[in-house]
Amino acid sequence: MPATHPTGLRFRRLLLTGAAGGLGRELRTRLKAYCDTLRLSDVAPLGPAAAGEEIQPAALQDGAAVHALLHDVDAVVHLGGISVEGPFEPILQANIVGIYHLYEAARKHGVRRIVFASSNHVTGFYRQDEVIDARMPMRPDGYYGLSKAFGENLAQFYFDRYGLETVSLRIGSSFPEPKDRRMLATWMSFDDLERLVVASLSAPVVGHSVIYGLSDNTVRWWDNTPAAHIGYRPRDSSDAFRAQVEARQPTLDHGNPATRYQGGGFVTQGPFD
């Protein structure tokens, strides 16, 4: 039996969806330390299973495949789905029908907790000069943000009705480094992503909690005080990248909605017909 991680967190079997994606590839290596078996799923290729891994491909819109995916799982980190703005139909299948299948399967198999990769685009139509928290009304900035809003509402319903707990992570921008001025506020390092996911899996009681995923950036638009019970303590900051980002992008067009609103470029995408 592998040793328990210093956090004390250890699952028998953890499911990671979206495991072939950008964040999935990061968490694939990191989450192994917290479980005996990491079950990996995606529609994209995942390569061979390493020690302690199981590969189980599934399209989220395939209810039977998702039901099988949840068999004998203790907890889920749900990253799978379309991760950018685009036409409604594919988002409907992957993100809306898909998350319904995931929660139904979790309910039937008695899974206790899901960590759901929601997005800052649930509140993308707040202005960049506002500081908001997760108790404020949703203001999705497109079909993608709407699909994540649906996911959060679904999570709330499954907690209220069935006691299935979720932490919805309104992730900002999790990339190796901030790419532009907006990301100086929204950036979250991969190490902080791991801290956030581990805190979400290990907090004793979460009900349905909503928390923004960002590092300890000096400039910030999101106040996580209502989610203090998760115990997330970011250790990185975008500040180390500020000088190089500002040199690359010395001026901002304040007339551009992408500069005015928190959702950035997502707020101007579409229509798609």
Which chain residues interact with ligand NAI by CB under 6 A? 18, 20-24, 42-44, 59-61, 79-83, 94, 98, 117, 119, 171, 173-174
Which tokens sit at 165? 């707990």
43 or 49: CB nearest ligand NAI: 43
CB of 36 to ligand NAI, least distance (A): 24
Question: What is the DSSP code string of 60-96?
Answer: TT-HHHHHHHTTT-SEEEE--S--S---HHHHIIIII
User: Does 17 engage in binding with ligand 15L (CB under 6 A)?
Assistant: no
What's the one-letter identity of residue 84? V
Query: Within 161-180, which residues bind ligand 15L (CB under 6 A)?
Result: 173
> What DSSP state is assigned to residue 2?
P
User: Does 123 engage in binding with ligand 15L (CB under 6 A)?
Assistant: no
User: What is the C-alpha to C-alpha distance for residues 233 and 120, in angstroms, rounded to an integer?
Assistant: 19
94 or 154: CB nearest ligand NAI: 94
CB of 169 to ligand 15L, least distance (A): 11
200 or 262: CB nearest ligand 15L: 262
* Distances, alpha carbon 4 to alpha carbons 33, 143, 200, 250, 264, in Å: 8, 41, 17, 48, 41
CB of 250 to ligand NAI, least distance (A): 24
Site size with ligand 15L, rule: CB under 6 A: 8
Pairing of strands 113-119, 208-213: unpaired
Which of 103, 126, 143, 144 is catalytic? The answer is 144
Per the CB < 8 A criterion, the answer to whether 112 and 74 are in contact is: yes
User: What is the C-alpha to C-alpha distance for residues 113 and 200, in angstroms, rounded to an integer?
Assistant: 9
User: Does 186 engage in binding with ligand 15L (CB under 6 A)?
Assistant: yes
CA gyration radius for the chain?
Answer: 18
CB of 3 to ligand NAI, least distance (A): 28
Binder of residue 142, out of ligand NAI, ligand 15L, none (CB less than 5 to 8 A by kind): none
CB of 19 to ligand 15L, least distance (A): 15
144 is catalytic: yes
User: Does 95 engage in binding with ligand 15L (CB under 6 A)?
Assistant: no
Residues 6+ apart with CB under 8 A from 237: 215, 216, 217, 218
Binder of residue 18, out of ligand 15L, ligand NAI, none (CB less than 5 to 8 A by kind): ligand NAI
Per the CB < 8 A criterion, the answer to whether 50 and 31 are in contact is: no
Binder of residue 186, out of ligand NAI, ligand 15L, none (CB less than 5 to 8 A by kind): ligand 15L
Residues 6+ apart with CB under 8 A from 99: 60, 78, 81, 116, 150, 151, 154
Backbone phi and psi for residue 154, each to the nearest 5 degrees, phi listed first: -60, -45
Q: Return the residue of 37, 41, 61, 120 that touches ligand 15L, per CB under 6 A.
A: 120
- Provide the binding-site residues for ligand 15L, judged by CB under 6 A: 83-84, 119-121, 173, 186, 264
Q: Catalytic residues, which ones?
A: 144
